[in-house]
């Protein structure tokens, strides 16, 4: 067990709730990268696998907690992308209707 590893995971873990809150309230996927979140998830998986195979200790729970928060943020990204697409479709429909109305 490394104190530095614990501090790192606690610092990252402290940042994710704010990111989750912003993702939930913003209702848009703009400005957030799903690829970035997946890369972070892969890093946490690697850390958990290291703990399982080489040095099992309670720090795995910090990895799991961080993984859970990032996974939730990724799920919010998918929800927000769906919301973005619906808004774009409404805007597109409105533009088509406005164009049709103006040519009559």
Is residue 8, in this structure, part of any structural domain at all?
Answer: no
Is residue 10, in this structure, part of any structural domain at all?
Answer: no
Count of the separate structural domains present in the chain: 1
Is residue 54, in this structure, part of any structural domain at all?
Answer: yes
pLDDT value for 27: 96
Is residue 9, in this structure, part of any structural domain at all?
Answer: no
Residue with tokens 């009559």: 104
Is residue 92, in this structure, part of any structural domain at all?
Answer: yes
Is residue 25, in this structure, part of any structural domain at all?
Answer: yes
pLDDT value for 100: 67
Q: Among 69, 38, 50, 72, which residue's Cα sits nearest to residue 5?
A: 50
Give 10-residue mean pLDDT values along the chain (104 residues).
93 95 96 97 97 96 98 98 94 74 64
Is residue 35, in this structure, part of any structural domain at all?
Answer: yes
Residue 70's φ and ψ, nearest 5 degrees, are -65, -40
Q: 31 — alpha (psi -120 to 50), left (phi > 0) or beta?
A: left
**Helix, strand, coil fractions of the chain, as percent rounded to 5:** 85, 0, 15
Range of the domain at 95: 18-103
Q: Is the dihedral of CA 96, 79, 48, 62 positive or negative?
A: positive
Is residue 1, in this structure, part of any structural domain at all?
Answer: no
């Amino acid at each position: 067990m490394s104190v530095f590893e614990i501090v790192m995971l606690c610092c990252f873990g402290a940042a994710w709730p704010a990111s989750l809150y912003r993702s939930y309230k913003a209702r848009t996927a703009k400005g957030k990268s799903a690829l970035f979140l997946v890369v972070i998830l892969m890093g946490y998986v690697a850390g958990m696998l290291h703990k399982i195979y080489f040095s099992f200790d309670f720090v795995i729970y910090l990895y799991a907690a961080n993984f859970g928060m990032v996974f939730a943020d990724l799920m919010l990204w998918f929800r927000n992308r769906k919301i973005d697409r619906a808004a774009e479709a409404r805007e597109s429909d409105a533009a088509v209707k406005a164009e049709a109305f103006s040519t009559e």
